[in-house]
């Protein structure tokens, strides 16, 4: 089973700053199968990035994803008030789909 | 864009079976993979399992002995049954559509509480 470890657990930033979120896999995974989601309180998660670097429909270009192998990154440049949320990475394996434990991006 | 809506009882007694249905609109259920995900209060996301239009299924090993996911193409719905529930199964249950190796569309979620 592939384990995804996200860091940091919480990121305290001000609007306008940039956020860098990490997702590390316990073994190498295909970039095709790595996704990021945003979840706000009381709401369902929303797909932000798929295929490690492709923005989902309606996601602004201040969101970008990168990485390969075991290390993946979600970068949010110029944080807007609506970006403060919890972000999860997910790996779609051939039989087992796993989520990271989440990174909370909070207003400083 | 596909829309999904979960429905089912919000309260289930311990040892009974949790049953939820996801109704899909704006697209045919005969394509894609369809998934159930849950989130315990204050916790992260957990994949319960998924089903493809062929009827093939995958279940999280930790839940496999208690889970059944099925498809009803005539109603454009898919369903979740989780047997022998305990308080640990209390969670918000989401249904989702899988595309390009990601959960592209999500239902709004439904809270299921296990309590007598």
**What are the tens digits of pLDDT across the range B57-105?**
999 999 999 999 999 999 999 999 999 999 999 999 999 999 999 999 9
Residue in A33, A44, A56 closest to B104 by CB? A56
Q: Which of A44, A95, A101 sits opposite B58 (nearest CB)?
A: A95
Cβ-contact B103, B37 below 8 angstroms: yes
In the predicted model, is pLDDT for residue A96 greater than 80?
no
Size of interface A-B (CB pairs under 8 A): 57
* Pick from A50, A96, A100: CB nearest B102: A50
**Any CB–CB contact under 8 A between B64 and chain A?**
no
Looking at the predicted structure, is the pLDDT value of residue A93 above 90? no
Structure tokens at B30: 């005969």
Q: How far apart are CA B7 and CA B13, in angstroms?
A: 17
Given CB atoms, is B102 within the 8 Å cutoff of chain A? yes
Shortest CA distance to B49 belongs to which of B10, B84, B14, B82? Answer: B82
pLDDT confidence band for A95 (50 / 70 / 90): confident
B34 touches chain A (CB under 8 A): no
Tell me, rounded to whole angstroms, the distance of Cα B63 from its chain centroid: 12
Q: Per residue in A35-91, pLDDT tens?
A: 999 999 999 999 999 999 999 999 999 999 999 999 999 999 999 999 999 999 999
- The alpha carbon of A82 is separated from its chain's Cα centroid by a whole number of angstroms, namely 15
Instruction: Give pLDDT, residue A97.
Output: 86
Residue of B nearest to A86 (CA): B44
Q: Label residue B47 by pLDDT band (50, 70, 90).
A: very high
CB contacts of A102 in chain B (<8 Å) are: 44-45
Enumerate the residues of chain A whose CB falls inside 8 A of the CB of residue B35: 97
Q: Alpha-carbon distance A47 to A58, whole Å?
A: 10
Please say whether the beta carbons of B1 and A47 come within 8 A: no
């Amino acid at each position: 089973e592939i384990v995804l470890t996200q860091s940091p657990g919480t990121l305290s930033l001000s609007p306008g700053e940039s956020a860098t979120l990490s997702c590390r896999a316990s073994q190498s995974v295909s970039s095709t199968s790595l996704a990021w989601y945003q979840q706000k309180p009381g709401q369902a998660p929303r797909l932000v990035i798929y295929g490690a670097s492709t923005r989902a429909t309606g996601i602004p270009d201040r969101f970008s994803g990168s990485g390969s192998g075991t290390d993946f990154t979600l970068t949010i440049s110029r944080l807007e008030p609506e970006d403060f949320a919890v972000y999860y990475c997910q790996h779609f394996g051939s039989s087992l789909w796993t989520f990271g434990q989440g990174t909370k991006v909070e207003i400083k | 864009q596909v829309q999904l809506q979960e429905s089912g009882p919000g309260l289930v007694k311990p040892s009974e079976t949790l049953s939820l249905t996801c109704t899909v609109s704006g697209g045919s259920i005969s394509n894609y993979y369809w998934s159930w995900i849950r989130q315990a209060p204050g916790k992260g996301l957990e994949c319960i399992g998924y089903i493809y239009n062929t009827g093939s299924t995958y279940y999280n090993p930790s839940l496999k002995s208690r889970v059944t996911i099925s498809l009803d193409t005539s109603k454009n719905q898919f369903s979740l049954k989780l047997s022998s529930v305990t308080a640990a199964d209390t969670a918000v249950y989401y249904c989702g559509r899988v595309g390009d190796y990601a959960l592209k569309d999500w239902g709004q979620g439904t809270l299921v509480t296990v309590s007598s």
